[in-house]
Each structure stands twice: as structure tokens, then as C-alpha cells.
Amino acid sequence: MTSAGAQSPTLLVSSRFSDQILGYDQNGAFTGVFARGGGLDNPVGLTFGPDGHLWVASGNTNQVLRFDGQTGAPLGVFANVTAPRQLQFGPDGNLYVCSGSTASVLRFRPDGTTLGVFVQGSVIGGNTSMTFGPDLHLYVGSVFNNHVVRFDGRTGALLGVFANTGMNGTHDLSFGPDGHLWVSNAFGNNVVRFDGRTGAFLGVIVADPLLQAPLGLQWDDRGDLWVCNQGRDEVRRYDGRTGSLQQVVVASAAGGLDGPLFFAFTRTRHGPQLPAPVPAVAGSTSWFAPHGLPAGSATVLGAGTMAGLLPLPCGSLVASIGDAFILRVAAADEAGRSVFAVDVPASAAGFQFLFQIVDLTGCAVSPVLRQTF
């Protein structure tokens, strides 16, 4: 665990073959072993929860474990899961866990109560990861047949195959700030992209020849993509628009990193932030990508036209938009980022609107964004 006085990590990475969660600062310098012990054996998935603690899938013990989000101290076994893989909190506040060998996703209340199988079927064979989309539906990667499958985010009902082109070893899934779905191809050694609404294949976006069995994907506050490069025991950062390599953030085997699968940014201290949408053009779809949220938090995008004070159902919290209305609701991913798709009518051209993010889990709001389309 991180020693007293050591620098707090910005990034936590699962080191599969050393049975540890390792910490690194924003420049990739090793800050120490953040979590180990407590039965952790082959960490194959991790996420921060709304409670601020770290939840880790222990692959060789078939368990989900919890560790203190500040110190890394073991907090015990949360649940028993057959062949657990990546895990994530959903917009309902419950924990979702991929069970790779049973072709299912299980659901648990934060208190450990099992809610049973949420989705299951041969259509998601070897499922390793998943994500909730801007439409609040659950997208699951299927390794064995190279599919991304979509399920109703409330009921778990199968909605069909969302994408099935250009994949080879479908692993991690993440909706980017551009609103499109990015997928790591562990066997194809690249990252591909799909239209976030239709699933149409948009091609290879990261074609780095030094990618070897890439798995975990995360977005930073600048909108750049970070990738766990498993085969080279490192973490790489790519331009979130072009896919070009920007930096090897965590050098090969730094701090003893051995088999990185997934990773998570530590909880931000500056609270919710709402950058300007892309492309912010009337008559088209604009994508809002707020960040700085607790992982898994229920997030609301509000809009209006007048500044003012509007009480919110979250303690004494108030919004700064007097005539605010709810545009969208989503869940923050492991990096504390949400993605919202907003259709801006052509009639909005030339008008200024106010936007604000409300984190209903952590009871926090972002500064107001003033946006003219």
C-alpha cells in the first residue's frame, strides 16, 4: 500500500501477474503499490465506486474485493463471481460485473445484495468488458464472436448486435467525447471506432505498430485516450481526435508493472467540469463530455436560458440556471466522465443557452457553461 507521506497517485493500474494495483502520478512516475493482499490474486478489473473506494475483480479467487480509496487498505470480500472481469457502476447506483465464463453480467446493490443475472446469452461469449452508453443502455463486448451487443439498460432485454465489423478480440469499450464508441482489439493490436448511434464501422482510429494486446481504455480531462498496452507492460496516451500517439505515460514495467489490463483515474478534487460541446453547430448533434465526476455517479445535464438559483433535490444544492430543465441523464464511467448526445435544432442558431452538470450521487454541480450555437 502507499506509504505515509508518499505522493498520491493519479492513475491506478491493475498489474495482473504481480497481484497488485500500482499507482502513478499524472506524468507516469511510479508512486508506489496502492493495493495488494486481502486475497487479491490476478486483478482483472477495477473501478472506483460512488463511495470513493476501489472495487477490484480478483480473477483467480472468483471474487470482487474492496479497498480503501485513499489508503488502499483491504476492506474485504464484496461478492463471489465466477470468472469476474471488468466491473462498473451503472446509472441506477448498482454494481455490474462481467462473468466471462458464464456469458453473463451480474448485478449487485452497493450493500452486497445480489440482484442476480442482468444479461446472459451465447451472443456475448467471453465477455470481458462493458459500458453504459449515452442512451443509458448497456453495451457488452463479446470476445469469442467479435461483437458489441446492446441490452436495455433498465430491464436487461436484448436489443441486438450493435457492431460486428472490424474487431478481433473485442475487449474494452468506451464512448468518447466525440460520442462514438471506441473498442480495443486485443488480438488485432489496434483501437477501432463505431458511430455512437448507428454502430456503423468508422475504421481503425489507433494504428500504433507498438500496440500489443491492448485492453483498458480511459479518457483524461483533455479528451485524450489512454490505453493499457498489455503486451509491453505500459500505458500509452493518444490524441482523442486523430488517434495519434502523444506519449508513453507509464514506461514499460515501471514500478514492476506486469500484465496491465484495466486502470482508473483517482477521484478528481476539482468537482464536475463541463467543457464546450462538439461540434456546437445548430442543426446537428452536439456531444457534451463532462468530467471530474465520481465513477458510477448518476449525472444530469441541465439547460436553460436565464441565470438564477434553482433548488435541487440534493441537500442544500442549487443550480445556477433559473429556468433549468433536464436534457439528459447518464452514468459516469471509471474515469469519472459522462457523454451526452444533444440534438440542437437549426432554429437555435445564434442563441445563447446555459448548461450545467449536476452530480446527484456526490451532490455537486459544475460551473455554468454559456454556449452559443
Pairing relationship of beta strands 260-265 and 214-219 according to DSSP bridges: unpaired
Mean pLDDT, rounded, of the chain: 91
Residue-wise pLDDT for 350-363, tens only, equals 999 999 999 887 78
Residue-wise pLDDT for 4-63, tens only, equals 334 678 899 999 999 999 999 989 999 999 999 999 999 999 998 878 899 999 999 999
Domain ranges of the chain: 11-265, 284-372
The yes or no reply on domain 284-372 and CATH 1.10.260 is: no
pLDDT of residue 4: 37
Assigned architecture for domain 11-265: 7 Propeller (2.130)
Taken in order 107, 109, 112, 113, the sign of the CA dihedral is negative
Grid coordinates representing 341? 448526445
pLDDT of residue 5: 37
Cα 1 from Cα 264, distance rounded (Å): 16
Confidence of residue 269 (pLDDT cuts 50, 70, 90): low
Is the backbone peptide bond immediately before 134 cis, with ω within 30 degrees of 0? no
Please state the pTM of the whole predicted model: 0.86
The reply to whether 11-265 and 284-372 are identical in fold is: no
Which residues partner with 372 through β-bridges? 352
Mean pLDDT across 232-247: 95
Residue-wise pLDDT for 199-236, tens only, equals 999 999 999 999 999 999 998 877 899 999 999 999 99
Residue-wise pLDDT for 128-147, tens only, equals 999 988 788 999 999 999 99
Cα 97 from Cα 104, distance rounded (Å): 8
> What residue has cell string 470480500?
77
H or E segment to which residue 158 belongs: strand 158-163
